[in-house]
Amino acid sequence: MGFRKDFVWGAATSAYQIEGGAGEDGKGMDIWDVFCKEPGRVYEGHSGDVACDHYHRYKEDVQIMKEMGLKAYRFSINWSRVLPDGTGKVNEKGINFYDRLVDELLGAGIEPYITLYHCELPYEIYKRGGWMNREIVEWFGEYAALVAERFSDRVTHFFTLNEPQCFIGLGFLNGAHAPGLKAPLRDTFTMAHHALMAHGRAVQQLRAHAKQPVEIGYAPTCGMAYPETDKKEDIEAARKSLFAIPDVSNWSWNVAWWSDPVIFGAYPEEGMELYGPWLPEIKDSDMELISQPIDIYGQNIYNGRCVRMGENGEPENVSRYEGFPKAANSWPVTPEALYWGPKFLYERYKKPFYITENGISCHDSVSLDGKVHDPSRIDFLERYLSALKSAASDGVDIRGYFQWSLMDNFEWNSGYSERFGLIYVDYQTQERIWKDSAYWYRDLIMKNGEKE
């Protein structure tokens, strides 16, 4: 067993992180355009104004993907590029960019997977209350309908929201990401509820306007949980911990709150009790909208925590040993997350599964030989993908894997200080250099994930 014959080997990016082309060809501002101009918000005042200049270099980038043998490419459309006001007037030049990108991908034999929302909230929508305004559900639906109208003749895979945990939690709870607010708890739950409804409305609109059958998914994230040993109690403890409801101060870092409603049409009971004092009114019809059937389940997984059954019969986190392996950004390296994460999530949600993001930030640089050697990334991928393969062999219906990221890019409030790419980007010259891991990934794809 192992990976399916038609396994979707891909890589992922997002619009603001790579495109550049800020304000070009009629693009409206998004909340990141505004946030990056705020002193002290982003590492050394970096912004995505130019980023990887993908807006102008997409042909070269697609060529790289083709040489890498990618079967699929997951990218996001910047809502404010196609609808500068978020609603109403369509920016044909913005549509045209994504048209050309899609055609280029198809011409290279690469399947486009479109994400509708990857943190690019149009500033005009923000000014009208953004996620606080219930009307955003319809505005997002209008945008989804436009995307289906214009692209579904050629594109059949769509993800609605990327990481609501982050765009609500980092954007409005701790303020590290745009728009950089610390909103009242009640507001954050209201925004989250609207985001989930917007997801549901987008599912409806994508289907209603699709020109052919499409597969629609969702791409949340979170830390995973994995058991310390293979003992039944530890496995049960890890499972319980993964779907547990965190304290309200950190509530958005949550699997069940964001995924149960989408799949089951109900918020988890435990959360309804714990968060009761801060919840908005929740109507049955809201839950019906949120739980519009989806076809595929995506999950971004970077790491997890080790859990065992405590003496008191409750799960407890196992502390990491001194010198535990970590990425350049200090995220722990825990390959187990790519075995247990998919397993627990698939057991619970029972949908064809994709890893929509997984990867590592390393201290990459160009060596004297002109190459970029990144053994830590290769080691990371080898370990994580072998875990994913075990999950596939154990019966998890894993359809695909999107490596984060195709190339180095603007890592949100860390600016360009983190390098997650398979391809190195020299931001002075915009030169792209294949890292060792890019060649490694190409070879792995050729062998469909088998070692030999």
CA 400, CA 351: separation in Å to the nearest integer?
13
Token digits of residue 55 = 């807006």
> Could you give the string, one character per residue 13-52, with x where binding to ligand FCB holds by CB under 6 A and - elsewhere?
-x--x-----------------------------------
- Nearest-CB residue for ligand FCB: 163
| Site for ligand FCB contains 162 (CB under 6 A) | yes
**Nearest approach, Cβ of residue 234 and ligand FCB (Å):** 28
Q: Between 30 and 357, whose beta carbon lies closer to ligand FCB?
A: 357
Q: How far apart are CA 241 and CA 317, in angstroms?
A: 9
Q: Which stretch binds ligand FCB (CB under 6 A): 27-35, 161-169, 198-206, 261-269?
A: 161-169
Site for ligand FCB in 202-261 (CB under 6 A): 221
* Residue 139 dihedral angles phi and psi, to the nearest 5°: -60, -45
Task: Name which of residues 392 to 411 contact ligand FCB (CB under 6 A).
Answer: 404, 411
420 binds ligand FCB per the rule CB under 6 A:
yes
What pairing do the DSSP bridges indicate for beta strands 315-317 and 304-309?
antiparallel
> Cis before residue 241, ω within 30 degrees of 0?
no
Q: Nearest approach, Cβ of 412 to ligand FCB (angstroms)?
A: 6
DSSP letter (8 states) at residue 402: E
Catalytic pick among 124, 163, 228, 336: 163
Find the shortest distance in angstroms from Cβ 242 to ligand FCB.
18
DSSP SS3 for 399: strand
Q: Which two tokens stand for residue 18?
A: 């790579």
Q: How far is the CB of 165 from ligand FCB (least distance, A)?
A: 8
Beta bridge partners of 309: 315
Q: Give the span between the Cα atoms of 377 and 440, in whole angstroms.
A: 10
**Contact (Cβ atoms closer than 8 angstroms) between residue 51 and residue 57:** no
Please give the Cα distance from 443 to 446 (Å, whole number). Answer: 5
Q: What amino acid is encoded at 452 in this protein?
A: E
Phi, psi of 194 (to 5 degrees): -65, -40
Kindly tell me which of 74 and 348 has the beta carbon lying closer to ligand FCB. Answer: 74
State in angstroms the smallest separation of the CB of 246 from ligand FCB. 17
For residue 422, how many C-alpha atoms fall within 13 Å in the half-sphere facing its CB? 27
Determine whether 357 is an active site residue: yes
Pick from 264, 299, 259, 292: nearest CA to 399: 299
Written as one string, the DSSP assignment of 11-58 is EE--HHHH---TTGGGPPPBHHHHHTTSTTSSGGG--TTTTT-HHHHH
Quick one: 145 or 337, whose CB is closer to ligand FCB?
Answer: 337
Task: Draw the binding track, 353-392, toward ligand FCB (x: CB under 6 A; -: no contact).
Answer: ----x-----------------------------------
Window contacting ligand FCB (CB under 6 A); options: 43-51, 162-170, 271-279, 444-452: 162-170
44 is catalytic: no
Residue 195 phi/psi, 5-degree rounding, is -65, -40
- Region of 159-167, 235-243, 306-314, 367-375 interacting with ligand FCB (CB under 6 A): 159-167
166 interacts with ligand FCB by CB under 6 A: yes
- What is the x/- site pattern for ligand FCB, positions 296-335, by CB under 6 A? ----x-----------------------------------
Q: Give kind and range of the element (H or E) at residue 305.
A: strand 304-309
Window of 158-166, 189-197, 315-323, 391-399 that interacts with ligand FCB by CB under 6 A: 158-166
Q: Which is nearer to ligand FCB, 116 or 237 (CB)?
A: 116
Q: Which is nearer to ligand FCB, 11 or 309 (CB)?
A: 11
Phi-psi region of 208 (alpha: psi -120 to 50; beta: other; left: phi over 0): alpha
Q: Is the Cβ–Cβ distance between 296 and 308 less than 8 Å?
A: no
Residue 380 C-beta: closest distance to ligand FCB, Å: 13
Binding residues (CB under 6 A) for ligand FCB: these are 14, 17, 162-163, 166, 221, 300, 357, 404, 411-412, 420
* Active site members: 163, 357
